[in-house]
Amino acid sequence: MVDSQYILPNDVGISPLDCAEAFPLLSPKEKLYAHYLSRASWYGGLIVLLQTSPESPTIYVLLQRLFRKQPPSVLESVASAAGLSPEEYQAFLVYAAGIYSNMGNYKSFGDTKFIPNLPKEKLKALIWQSQAFKDSPTQMEALWNSCGDLMYSLDEKLKQLGLGDKGITTYFSGNCCLKDAELVQKFLDSKNLSAYNTRLFKQVNNDGKCCYEVRLASAIKDECPIDGDVDNKCGCYNFDGTLFKVVRGDYAPLMQRVVDCLKKAKAYAANENEEHMLEEYVQSFFFGSIEAHKQGSRYWIRDKGPIVESHIGFIESYRDPFGSRGEFEGFVAVVNKAMSARFAELVNSAEVLLPELPWPTQFEKDRFLKPDFTSLDVLTFAGSGIPVGISIPNYDCIRQSEGFKNVSLGNVLAVASATQKEKLTFLREEDKDLYIKLKNPSFEVQVGLHELLGHGSGKLFVEDEKGNFNFDSKNVRNPETGELVSSWYKGSETWDSKFSTIASTYEECRAECVGLYLCLNNRVLSIFGQEGSDAEDVVYINWLNMVRAGVLALEFYTPVNKTWRQAHMQARFVILRVLLEANEGLVSLEHTVGSDGKPDAIISLDRTKIRSVGKPAIERFLRKLQIHKSTADVEGGRALYEGYSSVTDSEPEKFLTLRETVLLRKEARKMFVQANTRVQGDTIELQEYAGSAADLIRSFVDRFHDDGEELEEEILALSQMDAHCWS
Ligand code: ZN
């Protein structure tokens, strides 16, 4: 038996990334822009294969050839003839889906290797009986010979990504260790050369001396300067008595494809910022210049609130064991215009909704300012994995002085928690169908309220340097005590500086409470198209989801140092505690034993008590949160919030025990099936897929339908070029 850490379970969650509402609402020009950016992202995303492990490119090509000749539904009968059980065939499909989702055979979250969960001989038998093998036996056999052993190997060094003895990496040749990485970093710093788009290859000569080759990713291979090549740093250097060569052309054919697509996209840009941004990215990817990418990122920051948002390049450095080389990623996300229209109506109703909040008008802002928030739906996310939100650029020099953008990815968030009935933990059977049906619409109501009226509401009392108050300090009273307000923010004090360590989670909690509280308002519900008994169901599921999230949150609590690692999850746990405390049978939490004999739990919410018990409980708590916030009362705020945040094993809830159950029942990381875009005449068509391993595989075969063979030759050639460097 293989340690389950190194396989993907057959029932791993696979969900379509739904873009069906957002994409059709784009204009034809926006669709074309999104399409060519998507193509650039997908081609560039293949670079991750070469950045992950020596065998990843070959495994990918083997799978593409297999499935191009026979889609999963057809290959199934071949598998059965080859002696695979249905479970073994499913394990193979899940493995293939995992390779596509992670762009390699190491998990993008956690960096551990995963291997096929079926015997090697069976997989070989399947390949040997496939149509792809019948058509080109020599090629298929060569592919298998080159990756079969590595695909299955769980040698200590191959179990995870790492440098030197610690693991495998393709950011460095196999003979590099930490000392090499440090020396080269010094060299790069001395030349003011960023490591983001580089890899490092060390050659040891016969005389024992070594030479380092720093290879830059670029479409062009030529090292001599040519027209427009302003940032050329190629050449030989002597640094500290060691020879360094800076060359370019890493991933050249793939970089060229990215460049070609970005040039096409530019013709459909919405404004000059987007045009300049793409020009700089083209420059960066063509010549291998990070300076040009930084310049492109500057235009990107200035492109505020675009309908089609994107980012592309060597972005996150988590997977370089040394932490300075970026992994390629490209994404395209689009504003969901229908959802934005509902959010806009919510903002327009702020004047009538804000007075509903449980604090006196003096505690509300003099004028409502719409917070800067757009939720985007991901159309394309190419690379090793999809986050729920991003904050880029990572270039510190730009972040500090010129800013950055936070991007919230709505459709990723929406499927991040379980949607398959069998996987739905901690709910009563009778709640599950309704939960699955209404989770997304109720989530949309909650997100809209949270972002716009949650973060957008409430006033901070301030006395500026000149002694001017922004409130009537002689008359404003604390609604809880009836006494005059006695504390406020002075001079340069801010919410973050005063509440420091708890500021973000406290504020998230306040925003979540506003969502729960205002979703009970009929006007809000009708803005989101919810009326009558359906609306009551949406309210119920929104509250139930919050209660369940409070339980799931325990995963993000670390008992040894008693800390919370995630602001939103801590906030949801706090809300669960508040609702449990309200008692009167509103929420009940039961420790049980599952059908597998292992510990389980059931959480339930009495829907008849939401308005009678739940609403007043949230009302009291939300008011307290706001008063402490408005009056800069850190001591009071901290005591309140940290009290509800504490996790103990006391009866009846036994949260520490519950945490063990939550960890035990934690769902494996989901995979996403992404749509394809295709030119159809002079428009762009969206091709969507359902959520299974077979669908995920089909989406990848279709994605490279037109140029698959040519592309695979390029990938294999790139991978073989360095094959001697890894051992
Ligand atoms: Zn928030």
Which residues neighbour 116 within 8 Å (Cβ) at sequence distance 6 or greater? 7, 91, 92, 95, 123, 151, 152
CA of 541 to the centre of ligand 1 (A): 20
- pLDDT tens digits, one per residue of 252-295: 999 999 999 999 999 999 999 999 999 999 999 999 999 999 99
Q: Rounded to whole angstroms, how far apart are CA atoms 92 and 98?
A: 10
State yes or no: cis peptide before 86, omega within 30 of 0: no
Look up residue 591 and give its amino acid.
Answer: H
Joined together, the tokens standing for residue 578 give 């508040």
Band (1; pLDDT cuts 50, 70, 90): low
Average pLDDT over residues 693-711: 97
Distance 119 CA to ligand 1 centre (A): 47
- 451 as an active site residue: the answer is yes
- pLDDT at res. 566: 85
pLDDT at 82 over 70: yes
User: Is the preceding peptide bond at 393 cis, omega within 30 degrees of 0?
Assistant: yes
User: Cα(435)–Cα(442) distance, rounded to whole angstroms?
Assistant: 9
| pLDDT of 146 over the 60 cut | yes
C-alpha 455 to ligand 1 mean position (Å): 7
Cα 407 from Cα 589, distance rounded (Å): 35
Q: Is the pLDDT of residue 418 over 70?
A: no
Q: Is the pLDDT of residue 306 over 60?
A: yes
A 10 A CB-CB count for 115 gives: 20
Distance 450 CA to ligand 1 centre (A): 6
56-69 helix and 693-703 helix, angle to the nearest 10 degrees: 90
pLDDT digits (tens, 9 = 90+) for 31-49: 999 999 999 999 999 999 9
Handedness of CA 75, 57, 252, 273 (dihedral sign): positive
624 backbone dihedrals φ, ψ, rounded to 5°? -60, -45
The 10s digit of each residue's pLDDT in 443-496 is: 889 989 998 899 889 999 999 999 999 999 999 999 999 999 999 999 888 898
Rounded distance between C-alpha atoms, residue 246 and residue 194, angstroms: 12
Lowest mean pLDDT among 52-66, 97-111, 195-209, 369-383: 369-383
Average pLDDT of the segment spanning 203-230: 89
CA of 451 relative to ligand 1 center, distance in Å: 6
Give the residues across from 308 on adjacent strands: 334
Alpha-carbon distance 69 to 75, whole Å? 9
**443 CA → ligand 1 middle, Å:** 13
Q: In Å, how far are 8, 58, 150, 314, 538 from 114, measured between CA atoms?
A: 7, 15, 11, 24, 40
Average pLDDT over residues 148-162: 95
Going from the Cα of 511 to the center of ligand 1, the distance in angstroms, rounded, reads: 6
User: Which of 205, 35, 62 minimizes the C-alpha distance to 684?
Assistant: 35
Amino acid at 634: V
The CA–CA distances, whole Å, from 546 to 259, 409, 509, 519 equal 45, 20, 11, 12
Query: Which H or E run contains 296?
Result: helix 290-302
H helices within 361-428, ranges in order?
Answer: 396-401, 410-416
Residue 399 has a pLDDT of 76
Q: Compute, in degrees rounded to 10, the torsion defined by CA atoms 497, 500, 503, 504.
A: 110
Whole-number Å distance, alpha carbon 574 to ligand 1 midpoint, is 15
What mean pLDDT is predicted for residues 558-586?
93
User: Which amino acid, residue 520?
Assistant: L
Write down the catalytic residue from 55, 88, 213, 451.
Answer: 451
Note the pLDDT of residue 373: 72
Q: Who's near 530: CB < 8 A, 6+ residues apart? A: 441, 445, 538
pTM: 0.84
For the cut 80, the answer to whether the pLDDT of residue 411 exceeds it is yes
Sign of CA dihedral 506, 507, 511, 512: negative
- pLDDT band with cut points at 50, 70 and 90 for residue 416: low
Q: How far apart are CA 330 and CA 317, in angstroms?
A: 14
Packed helices 252-266 and 708-721: angle between N→C axes, nearest 10 degrees: 140
The CA distances from residue 163 to 112, 171, 174, 296, in Å, are: 14, 9, 8, 31
Q: How confident is residue 208, by pLDDT bands cut at 50, 70 and 90? A: confident
